[in-house]
Chains A and B, each alone.
Chain A
Amino acid sequence: MSKVLEIKDIHAKIGEKEILKGLNLDLEPGKVHAIMGPNGAGKSTLSKTIVGHYDVEVTEGEILYKGKSILDMEPEERALEGIFLSFQHPVEIPGVNNAYFLRTALNAKRKHEGKEELNAAEFLREMKKYLEMLGMKADMISRSLNEGFSGGEKKRNEILQMLILEPDVIILDEIDSGLDIDALRAVSEGINLMKDGKRSFLVITHYSRILDYIKPDYIHVLKDGRIIKTAGPELVAQLEEHGYESIVEEA
């Protein structure tokens, strides 16, 4: 199969406003696709559309994941099938223990795959290696989910979930926002660990900084609800130098 995710002529609105206006995009297995674009272009709406966010209403088009339509699937079904979104602003959930949440999510996935569920001790053993790699303090998993976490800690926690759940399509929405250099490096290491030549990445970003750490195979420019250009990594330099306006002129 040459495409793991096929987005075909998607039109989507939030409230009464149409944000995606006939967007086409194919993700190839094992490739890193970066989506760049100005504010308000529809980058976050695209990620929300793929994972089935309640804000978004798809009015036209189709999304196929491994050849199967996902538009009628619930968000949890899409996740269990292997689609993962790292949120730009992960929500805080006081009272839900982080470890308990992670184990529930992992066991839901394992159950879906017909594997045996992990008990608390097995799970903690499994997690320990990732915590160290991401530079996360041990107490972060015993605290409430994202409650009182700094911006960097929240993003590391997103990556921790990604590492544990081992999804096939990974959408990283502004993963670099609010990260200092050390956090950016730790997060990038986590992401690169997942690059196994099979998984696909959709990296949504404003800036090219993250792309120094996660080497993209394709750059897509999203503007006004559509992909207006797709090129190789060399496009980043052009965007840096001339901005998004230059792309509009080329299109």
Chain B
Amino acid sequence: MRLSELKNKTLPEAAALLGADEKAVALERFMQIGLPNKKSEEYRYFQVEKLLDKAYRTLTYVPKPIEEAEKIVIVDGIVTHAPHGMRVYYEQCQAMDMTHFDPMYYLGHLLSPHVIKIDLDGDTDVEIEHHYTQSGALIAYRIVLINQANRHATLFESFHDEGVKDALVLYGYDTFVAPDSTLRILKNQKMEAEGYAMITSHRLQLEQRANAVIKSFDMGAGMGLQLIKADLDRYAHIDAGHLLYLNGEAQRGTVSKIIHKGEHSTSNQEAKNILDGTSRGIFDALIKVENSAKWTKAHQNSKAILLHERAYMAAKPQLEIYIDELEASHGSTTGQLDEKQLFYLRSRGISETEARKMLVIAFANTLIEQIKDSRQQEVIKTTFEEAFYAGEKDMA
């Protein structure tokens, strides 16, 4: 299947191609927005057409019995393992966001015959391993995450490609963060140049006084874009952090819309980007404060270090504000390693190459060290260093 075949199709034609019900609301929304192209606002820095024009094998998603394990394992969109007692099951998506900005959110839903629902009961830490094993396949699946009021849950996601080539993964979660609860989602993803490409489209609904922490650590090469929409009710708070370390010809990054709907809601979004080779980093992030969201606090910042003259950072922090009673800031800087810091290290006998490595790792660590769990912190540090040293080797 080529997704670009959906271009300029009528609703019945698209329904036939996707095997979807003509009356499906997701299809209606998808047709309204249309397939993304280089002129689409959200995909203007990401060569999405390159991915949509490729022919992929489609997969049939047959649920298997779930075996007991310490973590949730999802292989090509099918859950194979889950911890004992954890409620992980398939169901039709009950609550799709009908105002999502991303057409691939709806396409992902249309291509997924069901959603994987994960109930996060009580205070819990869960690990999800995503595995991709099918070269040349279109792998589409979605997760619905539900947590409980007054509880604190952490989800640690990692991605494993097992040498697949030319696959396209359409993935994402619909998350409902319950009142007075905290949900932390940490994503650790290292991709390879010729491996799978990925478009993740998330939706987060933060109820009153809910607290969400979304940290993504995207490293290596390849093509990947995460699109996030978050709606904040009264006193809700979101803390979003994105680390990019890219090399080769990578094109990766974040496109997000954080929408303050309730009074006293707060958001903090920070992106740290390190770009080597001819890679392109993307941070295209909007914070919207609606007129119902008085006394909002919203802060957004992107910092990028270019390690190569051909690396490119597309940083577009934006604020869209409809009230006067708020505190908001945004900013973006793109530059090279700090000459003073580099000199200081060298003046102590540390070679320039080693000093540069130390500064790059230090820049990344300011975000990595915000992770409270030291084990998860170490895992991400190791992934970063593997990607960094692999990139250095490629450049040498």
Contact = CB atoms under 8 A, between A and B. Distances in A.
Interface of A: 51, 53-54, 74-76, 79-80, 85, 87, 90-91, 93-96, 101, 104-105, 108-109, 112, 144, 161, 165
B350 A105 contact: yes
Contact of A76 (B350, B361, B362): B350
B381 to A, nearest CB: 11
21 contacts: A51-B347, A75-B343, A79-B349, A80-B349, A87-B347, A94-B362, A94-B366, A95-B361, A95-B363, A95-B364, A95-B365, A95-B366, A96-B359, A96-B361, A101-B348, A104-B350, A105-B348, A108-B349, A108-B351, A144-B362, A165-B349
Contacts of B350: 76, 104-105, 108
A76 B344 contact: no
A109 B354 CA distance: 14
B341 interface: yes
Given A105-B349, A108-B350, A91 B369 contact: no
Given A96-B359, A104-B354, A79 B365 contact: no
A115 B343 CA distance: 25
B346 A74 contact: yes
Contacts of B344: 87, 90-91, 93
Given A76-B352, A80-B349, 7 more contacts: A79-B348, A87-B344, A95-B361, A101-B345, A104-B350, A105-B345, A105-B349
A165 B350 CA distance: 12
Contacts of A104: 350, 354, 358
Contacts of B361: 95-96
B359 A79 contact: no
- B347, B351, B354, B361 pick with most chain A CB within 10 angstroms: B347
Contacts of A105: 345, 348-350
B320 interface: no
A74 B342 CA distance: 12
B36 to A, nearest CB: 36
B369 A95 contact: yes
B275 to A, nearest CB: 17
Given A104-B354, A104-B358, A91 B349 contact: no
Contacts of B364: 95
A105 B349 CA distance: 6
A2 to B, nearest CB: 27
Given A91-B341, A95-B363, A85 B352 contact: no
Nearest to B364: A95
A101 B347 contact: no
B65 to A, nearest CB: 46
Interface string B70-106: 0000000000000000000000000000000000000
Nearest to A90: B344
B362 A112 contact: no
B339 interface: yes
Contacts of A95: 361-366, 369
Contacts of A85: 347
B340 interface: yes
Interface in B321-355: 338-341, 343-352, 354-355
A112 B349 contact: yes
A54 B355 CA distance: 15
A105 B358 CA distance: 12
A75 B362 contact: no
Given A76-B349, A76-B350, A104-B354, A53 B365 contact: no
A162 to B, nearest CB: 10
Given A101-B358, A104-B354, A104-B358, A93 B349 contact: no
In the A-B complex, the 9 residue pairs with the smallest Cβ-Cβ separation, listed nearest first, are A95-B362, A79-B349, A95-B365, A105-B348, A96-B362, A108-B349, A75-B346, A76-B346, A80-B349
A98 B163 CA distance: 39
B353 to A, nearest CB: 10
Given A95-B362, A95-B364, A95-B369, A74 B341 contact: no
Contacts of B358: 96, 101, 104
Contact of B339 (A54, A90, A93, A144): A54
A217 B346 CA distance: 30
A79 B352 CA distance: 12
Contacts of A54: 339, 343
A216 to B, nearest CB: 24
A144 B350 CA distance: 17
Contacts of A51: 347
Contacts of A53: 343
